[in-house]
Amino acid sequence: MPSYYSTRDPTKTKVSFKDALLFGLAPDGGLYIPGEIPALDPSWREAASLSELGTLVLTRWLGAELAHEEIAAIAEEALNFEVPLVTLADDLGVLELTGGPTLSFKDVGARTMARLMNAFLRGEDRKLTILVATSGDTGSAVADGFAGQENVNVVLLYPKGKVSAVQELQLIAPRKGVRTFAVAGDFDACQRLVKEAFVDPELRDFGLSSANSINLGRLLPQSTYYLWGAVQAQQQGWDEVVYCVPSGNLGNLMAGMIGTQMAGLKPQFIAAHNANDFFPGFLEARYQQGDVRNTIATLSNAMDVGAPSNFERLYALLGGDALREGDVWATSVSDEVTRARMKQVYEAYGYIACPHTAVGFEGAARYREATGDARPVVVLATAHPAKFGDAVEETLGVALAKVEALERLKDHPVEVEGLEPTLQALKSKLLT
Ligand SMILES: *Cc1c(COP(=O)(O)O)cnc(C)c1O
């Protein structure tokens, strides 16, 4: 079984999956990485569902720490939605990761991580409170994923007036064990509160933890849909595909590289970024490791990341030279081109892509143009267009069909507790 260590630990002191999961970030500020990537039995190709693949993959990572039946039950419950590969042309497909309860691929990681945490805490008869600052898709996926898990509560902080109407409805929907606060400040103020809370002595015994995208418990489950994509691709005669991943923090790409390596595949990857171009710039040797880029606000806001957190993990696992010479091709797409590509995809295939997915389609087209690679490209659809309805309707000039998961949210009373952006205000809410 693999063990895990921090990217910043030269002695490579081993920790268990459970510790990596419950700590999230290593105490030295590094990210946990596996000492080795375990191999899947070739029979993975016969899996009949995403959750079956989830069981196979997770068993290889933590089969020594949780009983097989428990892992299977977690995968079945967490990965309970469709992830179809939709074919648009002979050489172009979309893997739709948007069928979860909050309509983004973040549901895959968040739902699985929540159940894994709950299982480990139940074994210890211990409770934790996940404290999250959110500006978009992560918060609702985490809140929904953890809701009703009896050993974990969630406290969500979002910047009042700075998230879209749909995002706000998703964040404030009443959920068991989840409290949401609208902070009178911006996203940075929310993040600052979270950081202060984690080091506050009075809150030490409160059992705070985080659920951000650097957690292995979110990352590893995401590798399953790359394999589910490969199973579906093969069924239609696509033996080898190129995966195009709309990217921000690079967690999704990292998960794809790990998952396909477990399965003995060696696909080509495209990392499609918006104007936040650190990673394409690094591959082109315009930027170096450790360069600090400011975050630029774009249409595909879930990918607005100046300094991708998973880069440290990619770099530690592969090394800079291997990354630059390896199987990742990357590009950076402006908002204007994103809108044009969204239109082109709609006109050519009748397919409606969210802004993030549209960045992916542009990346796919550029890759083909630049390399002449004729293999089919599978673009990962990372969010449902209805989550970004205004931008999509404005760009395409069409009215989107109503989506039930979002319509249902409108039935709830729109009430949310406000919070002043001070640690004292947060503590008085948490400790009473
Ligand atoms: C989070 C997110 C991304 C970026 O994923 P990373 O794993 O951070 O690279 C892309 N698209 C959508 C819709 C997201 O919510």
pLDDT tens, position by position, 52-87:
999 999 999 999 999 999 999 999 999 999 999 999
Confidence (pLDDT) at 167: 86
For residue 129, CA distances in Å to 121, 314, 385 come to 11, 29, 32
Cα 54 to averaged position of ligand 1 atoms, centre (Å) = 20
> Against a cut of 0.85, is the pTM above it?
yes
Confidence (pLDDT) at 319: 85
Q: Provide the 10 A C-beta neighbour count for residue 81.
A: 16
Rounded CA separation 430/432 (Å): 6
Give residue 364's pLDDT band: very low, low, confident or very high (50, 70, 90): very high
Confidence (pLDDT) at 45: 97
Cα 244 to averaged position of ligand 1 atoms, centre (Å) = 13
- Tell me: pLDDT of 415 over 80: no
Burial of 303 (0-12, 13-18, 19+ CB in 10 A): buried
Average pLDDT over residues 294-320: 90
- Contact 397/341 with Cβ under 8 angstroms? no
- Tell me: pLDDT of 121 over 80: yes
Per DSSP bridges, beta strands 152-159 and 85-89 are unpaired
Confidence (pLDDT) at 275: 97
pLDDT tens for each residue of 339-351: 999 999 999 999 9
Among 207-216, 305-314, 358-367, 372-381, whose mean pLDDT is lowest?
207-216
With helix as H, strand as E and coil as C, how does the chain read?
CCCEEECCCCCCCCECHHHHHHHCECCCCCEEEECCCCCCCHHHHHCCCHHHHHHHHHHHHHCCCCCHHHHHHHHHHHCCCCCCEEEEECCEEEEECCCCCCCECHHHHHHHHHHHHHHHHHHHCCCEEEEEECCCHHHHHHHHHHCCCCCEEEEEEEECCCCCHHHHHHHHCCCCCEEEEEECCCHHHHHHHHHHHHHCHHHHHHCEECCCCCCHHHHHHHHHHHHHHHHHHHHCCCCCCEEEEECCCCHHHHHHHHHHHHCCCCCEEEEEECCCCHHHHHHCCCCCCCCCCCCCCCCCHHHCCCCCCCHHHHHHHHCHHHHHHCCEEEEECCHHHHHHHHHHHHHHHCCCCCHHHHHHHHHHHHHHHHHCCCCCEEEEECECHHHHHHHHHHHHCCCCCCCHHHHHHHHCCCCCEEECCCHHHHHHHHCC
Confidence (pLDDT) at 195: 84
Among 11-25, 98-112, 249-263, whose mean pLDDT is lowest?
11-25
Cα 310 to averaged position of ligand 1 atoms, centre (Å) = 12
Confidence (pLDDT) at 125: 85
pLDDT tens for each residue of 146-194: 999 999 999 999 999 888 888 889 999 999 999 999 999 988 889 889 8
Cα 299 to averaged position of ligand 1 atoms, centre (Å) = 13
Atom of ligand 1 nearest to the CA of 136: 15
**Distance linking the first and last C-alpha atoms of the chain:** 43
Which residues face 270 on adjacent strands?
244, 329
Query: Which of 166, 216, 356, 361 to mutate to test ligand 1, by most ligand atoms within 8 A of the CB atom?
Result: 356
Cα 301 to averaged position of ligand 1 atoms, centre (Å) = 9
pLDDT tens for each residue of 187-203: 888 988 988 998 888 98
On average, the pLDDT of the chain sits at: 93
Range with the largest mean pLDDT of 22-26, 82-86, 426-430: 82-86
Cα 300 to averaged position of ligand 1 atoms, centre (Å) = 9
Percent of the chain with pLDDT over 70: 100
Residue with CA closest to ligand 1 atom 2: 302
Residue with CA closest to ligand 1 atom 1: 302
Confidence (pLDDT) at 307: 87
Average pLDDT over residues 34-41: 95
Q: Which residues of 238-263 are buried (b: 16+ CB within 10 A; e: fewer)?
A: beebbbbbbbbbbbbbbbbbbbbbbb
Cα 205 to averaged position of ligand 1 atoms, centre (Å) = 33
Atom of ligand 1 nearest to the CA of 356: 11
Residue 18: name the closest of 182, 150, 190, 216 by CA. Answer: 216
Alpha-carbon radius of gyration of the chain? 21
Lining residues, ligand 1, CB within 6 Å: 104, 106, 137, 213, 246-252, 302-303, 356, 382-383
Confidence (pLDDT) at 408: 87
Q: Name the phi and psi angles at 86, rounded to 5.
A: -100, 125
Among 15-29, 47-61, 386-400, 401-415, whose mean pLDDT is lowest?
401-415
Average pLDDT over residues 404-408: 88
Confidence (pLDDT) at 100: 96
